[in-house]
Amino acid sequence: MSLSGSDLPTRAAGPRSAATKPEVVGQKGPLGAPPTASAVLGSARQAAVELDGKCDETDFSPCWSQPETMKIASWNVWFDGFARYTRWAALLEEILMHSPDVVCLQEVTPPFLSILAESSFIKKNYVTSDPGMIAAGEQPSCLEGHRSYDVLLLVKRGIKVIKWWEIPVPSVMDRRCIGVDIEWPPSMATGGGGGAVAAVNRAAALAANANGGSKPAATPRIIQVATIHLESTSSGAKYRAKQLDRLETELGKGKAPGTTTVLCGDMNICSTCEEENGRIDAHYEDCWPLVVQQRNAAAVKPEGKLKEAAAVARWHADQGFTEDTSINKMRYQMKLKHKQVRFDRILIRKEEEVAAAGASPATASAGATPASASSAGPAGGGWRPKAMQLLGTHELCITTPQLGGGYQLSRKKELSVFPSDHFGLVASFQYQ
C-alpha cells in the first residue's frame, strides 16, 4: 500500500542553520545549466511546459554522435505527493542534461507518467516501455490492477528496439522486472525514428566520420537493459532473495551469444550487506566500485594539512551513497532518521565473461562520483563502465508556500526540496 503526501503525518522539521540554507539550485551537468525550480508547479502540464522550455535550449546529443559510447541513467523518482511536479520536472531536466541512451526509472506513478505524456521534448526524443501512457487520461498498462507505482524504461529514438519484455517476480508489493533488447550502434538505416531526429542523427554520424571519429562497428551488438525495484524494508529480505533467484534464472535466457546485459535499479540492499549481496548473480559486476578504483589509482594524493580533510571527503565520495541524509535534508525531514546507504546500482554482465566471472558484488562497498573518472577493463572487446555520477544531490529553491501533497511552508517553514529521496545514477560505457 502506498501513501500520498496528504496521507503522511505532519512532522516538525529539524533546525537548520543559515549556513546550510542554499541560495543556488541544482547540480551542473555537461550542458552547463543546473536544474532549477523557481516556483512550485501544480500540474503535469505545467511541469511539462517547464521541462520543454529548458530542454529545447540544450544541445541534446543524437544517438549517432558517439557510437562507441553508451550512456545509461537510473533513478528512483519517489512516488510521494510532496512537491511532486516541481521535483519531477527538475529530475527529468537533470537526466536529460546528460542525454542518456536508456533511462531506467522506479516508483513511477500516473502523475509522473502524465508529465512524460505532456512533454513534446520527451516524445520527440524517446520511446517508452509503456506507449499506452501517451493517450491523455488513459490508465497506463504498467499500472493495471492494484499496482500503485511501477518501473519504466525510456530509449532514445534512433536506437533499434528489438523487443520489450517482462520478468514477473515473487512479491507482496507488486514488484517486477522489465527490460528491452536494443541493437548498438544505432543503424543509419533506421535513422532515429524518421523526420528531423533522423536527419540530425545521420548528419552527426557523417560529420563524426569525416572528422576522423569512431566508425560504427560492422556487426551490431545486442544489449539488454533491465530495471527492477526489489522488495522494500528489512522485512522484505526473503522476497528480495526470491526475486534475485528469479532474475538469475530468467534474465538473459535465450539471448544471442555476445549479448551484454545491464541491470539497473533500486536494489534495497546496501553495498556493505555481505549476506544479501552474496545473493546477486556473481556474473554481474557492480559498476560503481570499478570506476572508483581506477579514479583513486590515478588521483593526486594531497599532503600536509590538506591530507586528513581530503581523505574524509574522498571517503564520502567513494561510498556513493544514493540515500544520504547528510546531504538530502528532505529525506531526513520525511523520516526523522539519518541514513547513508548505496541501494541503487548499475550492474553489468557480459556474455563473453560468464565462464570467467569474478567475485560477487557483495565484496564491493565503494562508489565513484566524478564524471571524469575511468575504469580499466580486461583485455579484449566488450563494454566497460568508464564514468559514473550521482544525480540530484543539490537542493531546489522553492519561492512559493504551497508544496503539494498537503504540505505548506506556513506549517513547515524550513522544508527542503530535492528531486527525489534517492540520488540517481548515470553511467557511461565504452566498447573496448
pLDDT given for residue 209 in this prediction: 47
Of 35, 60, 70, 73, give the one whose Cα is nearest residue 426. Answer: 73
Q: Domains (ranges, CATH) in the chain? A: 5-431 (3.60.10.10)
Are 403 and 82 within 8 A, CB to CB?
A: yes
Measured between alpha carbons, how far is 292 from 276 in angstroms, rounded to an integer? 22
pLDDT at 109 (0 to 100): 92
pLDDT score, position 102: 97
For residue 331, what pLDDT is reported? 93
* Mean pLDDT, rounded, of the chain: 75
Stretch 299-320: mean pLDDT: 75
Buried b (16+ CB within 10 A) or exposed e, 75-94: bbbbbbbbbbbbbbbbbbbb
Report yes or no: 363 and 290 within 8 Å, Cβ to Cβ: no
CA atoms of 417 and 82, how far apart (whole Å)? 9
pLDDT greater at residue 361 or residue 298: 298
Query: Length of the chain, please?
Result: 432
Lowest-pLDDT range of 114-123, 274-283, 398-407: 398-407
The amino acid sitting at 212 is G
Measured distance CA(349)–CA(286) in Å, rounded: 9
pLDDT at residue number 365: 33
To the nearest whole percent, how much of the chain has pLDDT over 90?
A: 49
Strand partners, 176: 168
3-state secondary structure of 246: helix
- Which residue in 152, 190, 164, 158 sits closest to 73, CA to CA? 152
Q: Residues 293, 386: contact at Cβ < 8 Å?
A: no
Give the residue-averaged pLDDT of 332-358. Answer: 77
Which band of pLDDT confidence, cut at 50, 70 and 90, is reported for residue 326? very high
Q: What residues form DSSP beta bridges with 108? A: 150
pLDDT of residue 311: 77
pLDDT bucket at 304, cuts 50 / 70 / 90: low
- How far apart CA 17 and CA 326 sit, in angstroms, is 14
Report the distance separating Cα 113 and Cα 48, nearest Å. 11
Q: Label residue 201 by pLDDT band (50, 70, 90).
A: very low
How much is the pLDDT for 406? 58
Above 80 in pLDDT, residue 60?
no
The amino acid sitting at 68 is E
pLDDT (tens digit, 9 = 90+) per residue, 4-45? 332 222 222 333 333 332 222 233 333 344 566 667 788 999
Q: How far apart are CA 343 and CA 320, in angstroms?
A: 10
Spatial distance between the Cα atoms of 366 and 250, rounded to a whole number of angstroms: 28
pLDDT-based confidence at residue 346 (cuts at 50, 70, 90) = very high
* Main-chain dihedrals φ then ψ at residue 427, nearest 5 degrees: -125, 140
What pLDDT score was predicted for residue 254?
81
Stated pTM of the model: 0.77
State the average pLDDT over residues 382-411.
75
Q: What is the pLDDT of residues 219-262, one digit of tens each?
A: 678 999 999 999 999 999 999 999 999 999 999 788 888 889 99
Q: Which helix (H) or strand (E) holds 298?
A: helix 287-298
Which residue, among 265, 92, 60, has the nearest Cα to 167 in the 3D structure? Answer: 265
How many CB atoms neighbour CB 18 within 10 A?
5
Using alpha carbons, select from 165, 347, 385, 143 the residue that is nearest to residue 265: 347
Torsion of CA 138, 141, 145, 151, to 10 degrees: -120
Per-residue pLDDT of 154-188, as tens digits, reads 999 999 999 999 999 999 999 999 999 999 987 64
Is residue 100 within 8 Å of residue 63, measured between CB atoms? no
What mean pLDDT do residues 368-382 have?
42
Q: Give residue 405's pLDDT band: very low, low, confident or very high (50, 70, 90).
A: low
Q: Can you read off the three cell numbers belonging to residue 63?
A: 544517438
Q: Which residue has the higher pLDDT, 359 or 43?
A: 43
**In the prediction, which pLDDT does 397 show?**
79
Q: Give residue-wise pLDDT tens across range 95-148.
A: 999 999 999 999 999 999 999 999 999 999 999 997 654 343 344 455 454 467
pLDDT of residue 316: 81
Which pLDDT belongs to residue 206?
46
Comparison of pLDDT for 192 and 153, the residue scoring more: 153
Task: Indicate if the pLDDT at residue 189 is higher than 60.
Answer: no
Given this model, what pLDDT does residue 314 score?
Answer: 79
The DSSP code for 56 is T
